């Protein structure tokens, strides 16, 4: 007989005598277990805990389980030769997507969409955030996923990289100063007024010295750490799970977001990753590491490959430690855990330097795994092409908070699909691809507007991305790939020779542009080609 859906302090008392860390009430602690179990409990909604873990540049291809039986048949690529034992185990316990897409595969825009459930036009974050771009700043008036959880009675914790704030001179230790000395400023301190319901804070804006990270805590105190950041953040997450220091109310469910920066450039030396992980890859020739046939092994960046994979393995271990603690505390049954990434990493594929911000598979296709033993049966879903704004409503739906999804949300709630209960939420024909660049600037060089330089669509079969000229908004270049028959996107089909195909993909893109309230839709950009 299951009397407690959600682990309560009392439940831990008799279920887990060795670790009675949640006991708060002496009276309850003295009661025999059967009396506790039979006591009438107030009827409260029983919400699950949620842990959302997202490293920064972890492409879907860098997940070792894709090369294992049971997974291999679901994809048409060979996974990178990476060691991810914890994620491999987790995948077998999860719903796993083949086609989760980072619509705007760059940090701040992705995070803005993730937190608000809105596309980049309305999230407030149409560009990567730095002090030259005042127009890119998470909307203070937006109802974020954490606002909803907080209002529903959750404790909410944010750990790691945030990167959705316009940096301002608000260093808590040096009022009137930025938190770093460089132009433009990238890193930022997030004051309590901008934390959107997160009551536990251990975060920073963006900073890439992986073994000397820093964080501002709930009180705004800065902590400089001399440790690889995922290891430190896993320790903090474990401490939060154990409720060391009474940082949360153990009677409430919690929502914890953990944003590991690695894998993230630079990947130059063991200053950027753990030596034990680097040792797994250091003696393997580059051509056996860079196995994707679209990778240019002559690029200087190729030397980064063992460090990239070492970062992936280190993140896998940090993730595994958090999962292990969740199980040890007996919290794992009623905790929904998501593992995904900001966006991917090209790592010499297509010969591009930029690790992200492109429509290539290595950049857009991210891992997406949800484990929730009480509601989700492990499976692989090849049909759902998940867009970033769908994540917020889907998680809220899985928690039974579908009625709390704000009307501002533009994404779709696929919770029923994950739970095999309701497949009625329509699937999109594909995922919208978005790329913006700086528009006009004022006399101080501050960006006043942005320009929607490229849009596209990723369907099950094709990738189309159209870049326009900033001056006349006419076509500058087009990428068109048949991903089904050319999974490594080696052959850019000449679009003028495939006009019918381009037209049909443009037709499918129209509802996506409309749903995203996109400037291409509002301005009818390329209306001779796109049938608005
Ligand atoms: Ca990023």
Domain regions of the chain by residue span: 2-38, 49-58+96-418, 431-523
> Which residues are within 8 A (CB) of 210 and not within 5 positions of it... i.e. 6 or more apart?
228, 229, 261, 262, 264, 271, 272, 273, 311
CATH code: domain 431-523 is 3.30.1120.10
Cα-to-centroid distance, 503 and ligand 1 (Å): 32
- What are 187's two structure tokens? 């890193």
Ramachandran quadrant class, 166 (left: phi over 0; alpha: psi -120 to 50; beta: rest): beta
Cα-to-centroid distance, 209 and ligand 1 (Å): 15
Cα-to-centroid distance, 131 and ligand 1 (Å): 17
For residue 146, how many other CB atoms are within 10 A of its CB? 21
CB distance 73 to 96 below 8 Å: no
**Entry pTM:** 0.91
Cα-to-centroid distance, 299 and ligand 1 (Å): 22
Q: What is the dihedral of CA 112, 325, 307, 361, to 10 degrees?
A: -40
Cα-to-centroid distance, 346 and ligand 1 (Å): 13
The CATH architecture one would assign to domain 49-58+96-418 is: 3-Layer(aba) Sandwich (3.40)
Cα-to-centroid distance, 57 and ligand 1 (Å): 6
Task: Identify the CA nearest to 108 among candidates 130, 92, 131.
Answer: 130
Q: What is the pLDDT along the chain (532 residues), one digit of tens a residue?
A: 333 333 333 333 323 333 333 333 344 444 444 444 455 555 555 899 999 999 999 999 999 999 999 999 999 999 999 999 999 999 999 999 999 999 999 999 999 999 999 999 999 999 999 999 999 999 999 999 999 999 999 999 999 999 999 999 999 999 999 999 999 999 999 999 999 999 999 999 999 999 999 999 999 999 999 999 999 999 999 999 999 999 999 999 999 999 999 999 999 999 999 999 999 999 999 999 999 999 999 999 999 999 999 999 999 999 999 999 999 999 999 999 999 999 999 999 999 999 999 999 999 999 999 999 999 999 999 999 999 999 999 999 999 999 999 999 999 999 999 999 999 999 999 999 999 999 999 999 999 999 999 999 999 999 999 999 999 999 999 999 999 999 999 999 999 999 999 999 999 999 999 999 999 999 999 999 999 9
- What are 287's two structure tokens? 């051509």
Cα-to-centroid distance, 354 and ligand 1 (Å): 12
Cα-to-centroid distance, 56 and ligand 1 (Å): 5
Cα-to-centroid distance, 506 and ligand 1 (Å): 28
Cα-to-centroid distance, 443 and ligand 1 (Å): 29
- Cα separation of 108 and 137, whole Å? 9
Cα-to-centroid distance, 106 and ligand 1 (Å): 5
pLDDT of residue 171: 98
Cα-to-centroid distance, 527 and ligand 1 (Å): 32
Task: Identify the CA nearest to 258 among candidates 55, 114, 48.
Answer: 55
Cα-to-centroid distance, 19 and ligand 1 (Å): 38
Task: Identify the CA nearest to 388 among candidates 404, 370, 365, 371.
Answer: 365
How many residues appear in the chain? 532
Cα-to-centroid distance, 161 and ligand 1 (Å): 9
Which CA distances in Å does 286 have to 85, 281, 350? 22, 9, 16
Cα-to-centroid distance, 130 and ligand 1 (Å): 13
pLDDT of residue 46: 82
pLDDT of residue 42: 52
* Percent of the chain that is helix, strand, coil (3-state, to 5): 30, 20, 50
Longest Cα–Cα distance of the chain, Å, equals 79
> Which residues are within 8 A (CB) of 242 and not within 5 positions of it... i.e. 6 or more apart?
21, 325, 329
């Amino acid at each position: 007989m299951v009397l407690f859906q959600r682990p309560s302090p009392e439940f831990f008392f008799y279920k887990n005598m060795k670790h009675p860390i949640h006991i708060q009430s002496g009276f309850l602690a003295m009661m025999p277990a059967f009396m506790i179990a039979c006591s009438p409990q107030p009827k409260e909604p029983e919400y699950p805990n949620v842990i959302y873990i997202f490293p920064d540049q972890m492409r879907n291809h860098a997940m070792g389980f894709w090369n294992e039986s049971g997974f291999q048949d679901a994809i048409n690529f060979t996974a990178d030769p990476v060691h991810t034992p914890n994620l491999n185990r987790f995948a077998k316990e999860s719903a796993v997507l083949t086609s989760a897409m980072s619509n705007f595969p760059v940090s701040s825009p992705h995070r803005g969409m993730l937190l608000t459930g809105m596309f980049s036009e309305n999230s407030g974050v149409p560009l990567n955030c730095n002090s030259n771009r005042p127009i890119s700043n998470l909307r203070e008036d937006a109802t974020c996923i954490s606002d909803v959880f907080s209002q529903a009675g959750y404790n909410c914790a944010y750990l790691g990289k945030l990167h959705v704030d316009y940096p301002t001179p608000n260093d808590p230790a040096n009022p009137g100063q930025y938190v770093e000395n460089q132009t433009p400023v990238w890193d930022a301190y997030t004051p309590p007024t901008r934390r959107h319901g997160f009551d536990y804070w251990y975060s920073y804006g963006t900073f890439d010295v992986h073994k000397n990270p820093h964080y501002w805590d709930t009180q705004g105190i800065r902590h400089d750490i001399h440790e690889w950041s995922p290891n430190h953040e896993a320790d903090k997450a474990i401490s939060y799970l154990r409720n060391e220091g009474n940082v949360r109310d153990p009677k409430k469910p919690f929502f914890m977001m953990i944003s590991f920066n690695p894998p993230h450039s630079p990947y130059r030396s063991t200053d950027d990753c753990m030596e034990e992980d680097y040792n797994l890859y250091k003696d393997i020739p580059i051509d056996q590491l860079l196995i994707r046939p679209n990778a240019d092994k002559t690029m200087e960046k190729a030397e980064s490959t063992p460090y990239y994979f070492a970062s992936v393995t280190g993140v896998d271990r940090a993730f595994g430690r958090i999962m292990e603690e969740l199980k040890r505390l007996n919290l794992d049954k009623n905790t929904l855990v998501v593992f995904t990434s900001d966006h991917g990493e090209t790592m010499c594929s297509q010969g591009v330097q930029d690790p992200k911000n492109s429509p290539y598979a290595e950049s857009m296709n991210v891992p997406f795994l949800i484990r929730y033993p009480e509601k989700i049966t492990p499976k692989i879903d090849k049909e759902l092409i998940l867009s970033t704004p769908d994540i917020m409503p889907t998680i809220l739906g899985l928690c039974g908070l579908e009625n709390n999804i704000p009307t501002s949300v533009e994404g779709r709630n696929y919770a029923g699909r994950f739970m095999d209960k309701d497949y009625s939420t329509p699937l999109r024909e594909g995922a919208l691809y978005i790329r913006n660049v700086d528009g006009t600037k004022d006399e101080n060089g501050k960006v006043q507007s942005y320009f929607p330089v490229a849009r596209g669509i990723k369907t099950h079969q094709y990738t189309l991305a159209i870049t326009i000229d900033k001056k006349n908004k006419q076509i500058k270049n087009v990428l068109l790939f048949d991903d089904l028959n050319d999974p490594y996107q080696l052959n850019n089909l000449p679009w003028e020779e495939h006009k019918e195909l381009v037209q049909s993909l443009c037709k499918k893109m129209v509802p996506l542009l409309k749903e995203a309230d996109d400037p291409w839709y509002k301005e009818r950009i390329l209306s001779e080609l796109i049938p608005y």
